[in-house]
């Protein structure tokens, strides 16, 4: 039997929002079973925003959630770390609208969660096994979800840059593989886009300290953490976006030239199907979701 988990102690960090450039204090608090992951905007009277695919608001350059006028932005790296370390229940207090970017990767959040400690609760944990393939495409970009007994990702990226080019990576996902091979991969951006993004009010807090920055031929940082850090970061983003389904998946997910839009569309498809279908418990800890009709 698998049990739901939360953190053992509250833990706080300070940082800056990648896009807003604003300072933010974030505190993670233990939460009882079946709470899920809930953001709480302390500067908005404690307004709560559950981490749900049905509350996705913006997906350009980061994933943001909204409930009415209240938003929480750039949630994906923190959510990815919670999901892959198996923290099912936690309250995330923020005193501003954006999760701190830290060093642009998931590693500072993994460190924070380990500092807090992870503990089991007395309720069983359930997974969702996808029995029928799912597919969503947007031009030459696509995401496919195929049945599998474990969570496994295959990701393909292609950028016309000498340091990136085409990168493909397949990995099973568990806490140690996540911590060693996915979490350290940093977000990345192109110098020629910075001016345009800043005019749109994006990447105001971005720098070499929290992103891999590429000019026409090289990176401005000292070194890459992996030769294929770019595709690894895309997997980090994907896992955070898929966590918005609210239940861990057993599936092999293939992504071709993806981004937050594609990832969150799939999370929304799965979430709305969960809402409208009876799920079958196939063993102690696995629901199965037969997806008979096309979802598009």
| Nearer residue to Zn ion within complex by CB, 127 or 178 | 178
Of the ranges 3-11, 105-113, 182-190, 277-285, which one interacts with Zn ion (CB under 5 A)? 182-190
Q: How many residues does the chain have?
A: 296
Query: What is the nearest approach in angstroms of Zn ion to the Cβ of residue 74?
Result: 8
- Token reading at 83: 């999901």
Count the Cβ atoms, other than its own, within 10 Å of residue 85: 21
# of chain residues touching Zn ion (CB under 5 A): 2
From first CA to last CA, the distance across the chain in angstroms is 35
DSSP per-residue letters across 112-158: HHHHH-EEEEEEE--EEEE-S-EEEEETTEEEEEEE-SS-EEEEEEE
Question: Half-sphere exposure of residue 263, counting CA atoms within 13 Å on the CB side?
Answer: 27
Closer to Zn ion by Cβ: residue 59 or 291 = 59
If the CB atoms of residues 112 and 128 are measured against Zn ion, the closer one turns out to be 112
Strand partners for 129:
250, 288
Least distance between Zn ion and beta carbon 275 (Å): 27
Least distance in angstroms from the C-beta of 187 to Zn ion: 4
3-state secondary structure of 278: coil
Tokens of residue 137, six digits: 């495409």
In contact, 208 and 15? CB cutoff 8 Å? no
Site string (230-259) toward Zn ion, x via CB under 5 A? -------x----------------------
Q: Which is nearer to Zn ion, 252 or 260 (CB)?
A: 260
Stretch that binds Zn ion, among 10-18, 65-73, 153-161, 186-194 (CB under 5 A): 186-194
Q: Which is nearer to Zn ion, 109 or 127 (CB)?
A: 109
Candidates 45-53, 89-97, 187-195, 221-229: pick the segment binding Zn ion (CB under 5 A): 187-195
CB of 76 vs Zn ion, minimal distance in Å:
5
Exactly one of 71, 187, 243, 268 binds Zn ion (CB under 5 A); which one? 187
Residues 50-79 that bind Zn ion (CB under 5 A): none
Least Cβ distance, residue 160 to Zn ion (angstroms)? 20
Give the nearest distance from C-beta 295 to Zn ion in angstroms. Answer: 25
Does 88 bind Zn ion (CB under 5 A)? Our answer is: no
Where do the DSSP E strands lie in the chain? 3-7, 11-16, 23-30, 37-41, 47-50, 65-67, 70-72, 90-94, 118-124, 127-130, 134-138, 141-147, 152-159, 165-172, 188-190, 212-214, 249-256, 280-283, 286-289
Our CB check for Zn ion shows the closer of 179 and 237 to be 237
Active site residue 126: no
Which of the following is catalytic: 19, 233, 260, 263? 260
Dihedral sign for Cα 63, 179, 271, 29, please.
Answer: negative
> Footprint of Zn ion on this chain (CB under 5 A)?
187, 237
* Residues identified as active-site: 260
């Amino acid at each position: 039997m698998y049990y739901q988990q939360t953190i053992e102690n509250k833990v706080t960090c300070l940082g800056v929002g990648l896009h807003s450039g604003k300072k933010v204090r974030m505190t993670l608090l233990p939460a009882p079973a079946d709470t899920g992951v809930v953001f709480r905007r302390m500067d908005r009277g404690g307004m709560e925003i559950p981490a749900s695919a049905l509350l996705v608001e913006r997906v350009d350059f980061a994933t943001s959630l909204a409930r009415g006028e209240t938003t929480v932005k750039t949630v994906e790296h923190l959510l990815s770390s919670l999901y892959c370390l198996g923290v099912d229940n936690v309250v995330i207090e923020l005193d501003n609208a954006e999760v701190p970017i830290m060093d642009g990767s998931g590693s500072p959040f993994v460190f924070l969660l380990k500092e807090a400690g992870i503990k089991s609760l007395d309720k069983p944990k359930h997974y969702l096994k996808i029995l029928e393939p799912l597919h969503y495409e947007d031009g030459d970009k696509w995401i496919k979800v195929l049945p599998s007994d474990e969570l496994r990702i295959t990701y393909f990226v292609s950028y016309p840059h000498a340091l990136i080019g085409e990168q493909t990576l397949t990995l099973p996902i568990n806490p140690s593989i996540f911590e060693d091979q996915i979490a350290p991969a940093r977000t990345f951006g192109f110098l020629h886009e910075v001016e345009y993004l800043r005019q749109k009010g994006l990447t105001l807090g971005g720098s070499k300290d929290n992103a891999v920055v590429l000019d026409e031929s090289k990176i401005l940082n000292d070194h890459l953490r992996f030769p294929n850090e770019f595709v690894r970061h895309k997997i980090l983003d994907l896992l955070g976006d898929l966590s918005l389904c609210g239940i861990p998946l057993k599936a092999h997910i293939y992504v071709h030239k993806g981004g937050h839009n594609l990832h969150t569309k799939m999370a929304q498809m799965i979430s709305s199907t969960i809402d409208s279908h009876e799920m079958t418990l196939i063993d102690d800890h696995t629901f199965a979701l037969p997806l008979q009709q096309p979802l598009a």
